[in-house]
Amino acid sequence: AEAQTVAMSRFPFTPIDAQTDFTVHVPQGYTWDVLVRWGDPILNGVEDFDHATGGSVEASDKVFGENTDGMESFLYQGRQLLAINHEYTNRSVNLPHTEDGTPAGAEDVRKLQNLQGISVIEVREDENGWRVVKDSPFNRRITHNTPMRIVGPAAGHDLLKTDADPTGTMSLGTMNNCGSGKTPWGTYLTCEENFNGYFGSTEEAQDQKPIQAADGYQRYGIGPDGWGYDYHKWDARFDTAKNPNEPHRVGWVVEIDPTDPESTPVKHTGLGRFKHENAEVVLARDGRVVVYMGDDERGEFLYKFVSNGVYRPGESTEGLLDDGTLYVAKFNDDQTGEWLALTPETTGMELPEILIFARKAGSAVGATTMDRPEWIATNPHAIEGYCCLTNNRNRGVKPNAGGDETPVNGPNPREVNHYGQIVRWFPHDDDHAATTFDWDLFVMAGNPTVHDDAYAGSPNITPGNMFNSPDGMAFDQNGLVWIQTDGDDDNEGDFAGMGNNQMLVGDPVTGEIARFMTGPQGCEVTGLCWSADRRTMFVGIQHPGGSWPDGEGLPRSAVIAIKREDNGIIG
Ligand code: FEO
Ligand code: CA
Ligand code: CA
Ligand code: CA
């Protein structure tokens, strides 16, 4: 019966078993190879990676950054370009000379700042496989210190002004670049997620100050200590005692033109400020631009932006990511839902504050609290959207003061949610601009070998395709949905039999799901795009364990290239 299922499915491969080792597995008839690793030079004349030091500070903004995440593929003048996020640093790995990864000075901080952000690289395939074209004029690193413009309705607002930028329109750097997006006009979108962790205060009582109580520090988790990056001790920009508005200048979606290495990245305040996972761009029936976005924190929300203007190829795209309406999702228990507009009328807030403190605006209109919205993807063959709700291990415990209660609700139906689920919505009138929709759960992850209740998962979960914590997600041209996981890989207890983090593919029509790839132990699989000819799939391996992929020395996050042995189309 199993063989028959495979033969009848739209999946052109035999699913693989769960794995627990320190390498990558793909189905029979497929191959994988490393394209580029943390520390690999992306420019000529830059020193090779050194396992003893983790690379020098001088080279750190000329090498492929750490912890690859979202990425997108661009074909420009016949060249294959990739834009790739570097989400965060594994400090003890990146600073091997320190005892526990705590920066010992400004040099260490600068190295961490440089290893994050974005790489734009040209890649080329020859008889030896894919490689980075090191002398390409398109190769570029964007870091925590790269100048960028702030545009849209909140640009220039007092809350965005600092001593270094009294205009509130020019910021330095983009950080915690998690998921990605791609516009119809060929630019890259990078999404700022856990930006709060980079800020701290050299004054103990900083979060008692009136400005910080009023401005949403608590709702966004900005505290005096940060998450161990310790930037604030060595770089005053990140010291909220000295620069209280600097945190307001991150938490945005940033647009980058990968075809112009001299271009200045643009932060779009129209898309709202929160812990952005990715930005899924799709056109409404009338050509307006719709951007779906998740806020990845327990009890936070799902958002949608709809532009006022219409996208017309070849015409100006000015304002298409800023002038419009930001909505937040309300899911009803009867499997209907609505997008609630965030306006001065509905929220009682001024527009710039709605955007800067989008979470507070969402609470004001009664948005539905979610089990951590990660990637959103839309089906190119049907008017429907999907969002990975990765897990919720502490329902009822608010991550940040000022957030809403997080009861069990329709799309988040399990009290203790170790496994996660994927919610799917069907916009009314087959139009992504519609303000009402129907919804269902495409899958509830679970473990049918351990549980026989709701924690066994939905019927499309079997002992052969179990996984937990869906996170990355993208559709291929055939309308199959690829699902990447960032979950518990200890392979014990609730997670027995699931093995390492993995990539699966689902059929939206039948609900069938099959395991395609497994990553090395310790890793998360995140980031997915295809070469222009769709004969190669690029997949990101973040925070691998062991000494992957080199076999000895430090573990190195990397992008791999997966192909069919017959060089056929892969999705
Ligand atoms: Fe960076 Fe929510 O993952
Ligand atoms: Ca993620
Ligand atoms: Ca995750
Ligand atoms: Ca991650």
What are 373-427's pLDDT values in tens digits?
A: 999 999 999 999 999 999 999 998 887 878 999 999 999 999 999 999 999 999 9
pLDDT tens digits for 433-461?
Answer: 999 999 999 999 999 999 999 999 999 99
Strand 276-283 relative to strand 288-295: parallel, antiparallel, unpaired?
antiparallel
CA of 191, nearest ligand number: 1
Atom from ligand 1 closest to the CA of residue 87: 1
Whether 102 has a pLDDT exceeding 70, the answer reads yes
CA of 501 relative to ligand 4 center, distance in Å: 12
> Is the ipTM reported for this complex over the cut 0.85?
yes
Indicate which residue's Cα is closest to atom 1 of ligand 1.
178
Whether 206 has a pLDDT exceeding 70, the answer reads no
Check if 277 has its Cβ closer than 6 Å to any atom of ligand 1.
Answer: yes
Check if 300 has its Cβ closer than 6 Å to any atom of ligand 1.
Answer: no
CA of 283 relative to ligand 3 center, distance in Å: 27
Whether 214 has a pLDDT exceeding 70, the answer reads no
pLDDT tens digits for 224-258?
Answer: 999 999 999 999 999 999 999 999 999 999 999 99
CA of 111 relative to ligand 1 center, distance in Å: 22
Atom from ligand 1 closest to the CA of residue 390: 2
Model confidence, pTM: 0.97
Rounded percentage of the chain residues whose pLDDT exceeds 70: 96
Atom from ligand 1 closest to the CA of residue 374: 2
CA of 351 relative to ligand 4 center, distance in Å: 31
Atom from ligand 1 closest to the CA of residue 486: 3
What pLDDT does residue 7 have? Answer: 47
Q: How far apart are CA 298 and CA 221, in angstroms?
A: 12
Check if 512 has its Cβ closer than 6 Å to any atom of ligand 1.
Answer: no
Helix (H, G, I), strand (E, B) or coil at 249: helix
Helix (H, G, I), strand (E, B) or coil at 112: helix
CB atoms within 10 A of CB 450: 15
- Mean pLDDT calculated for residue range 188-206: 91
Task: Calculate the average pLDDT of the chain.
Answer: 96
- Protein residues near ligand 2, an ion, with CB under 5 A: 374, 471
What pLDDT does residue 399 have? Answer: 79
CA of 538 relative to ligand 3 center, distance in Å: 19
Check if 192 has its Cβ closer than 6 Å to any atom of ligand 1.
Answer: no
Atom from ligand 1 closest to the CA of residue 372: 2
What pLDDT does residue 1 have? Answer: 42
Task: Give the strand order in the sheet containing 324-331.
Answer: 276-283, 288-295, 302-310, 324-331, 336-341, 436-444, 421-427, 385-389, 373-378
- Mean pLDDT calculated for residue range 139-166: 97
pLDDT tens digits for 454-487?
Answer: 999 999 999 999 999 999 999 999 999 999 999 9
CA of 315 relative to ligand 1 center, distance in Å: 34
CA of 46 relative to ligand 1 center, distance in Å: 30
pLDDT tens digits for 3-55?
Answer: 444 446 899 999 999 999 999 999 999 999 999 999 999 999 999 999 999 99
pLDDT tens digits for 58-76?
Answer: 999 999 999 999 999 999 9
Atom from ligand 1 closest to the CA of residue 277: 2
Q: How many residues does the chain have?
A: 571
CA of 471 relative to ligand 3 center, distance in Å: 5
Helix (H, G, I), strand (E, B) or coil at 309: strand
pLDDT tens digits for 306-345?
Answer: 999 999 999 999 999 999 999 999 999 999 999 999 999 9
- Mean pLDDT calculated for residue range 360-369: 97
What kind and span of H or E run contains 266? strand 266-268
- Residue of 301 and 6 predicted with greater confidence: 301
What pLDDT does residue 249 have? Answer: 98
Whether 208 has a pLDDT exceeding 70, the answer reads no
CB atoms within 10 A of CB 497: 15
Residue 266 CB burial class (10 angstroms; 0-12, 13-18, ≥19): buried
Check if 193 has its Cβ closer than 6 Å to any atom of ligand 1.
Answer: yes
Q: Which residues contact 65 (CB under 8 A, 6 or more apart)?
A: 38, 86, 114, 115, 116, 117, 118, 119, 141, 143
Q: How far apart are CA 570 and CA 533, in angstroms?
A: 9
Check if 87 has its Cβ closer than 6 Å to any atom of ligand 1.
Answer: yes
What pLDDT does residue 3 have? Answer: 47
The confidence band for 212, taking pLDDT boundaries of 50, 70 and 90, is low
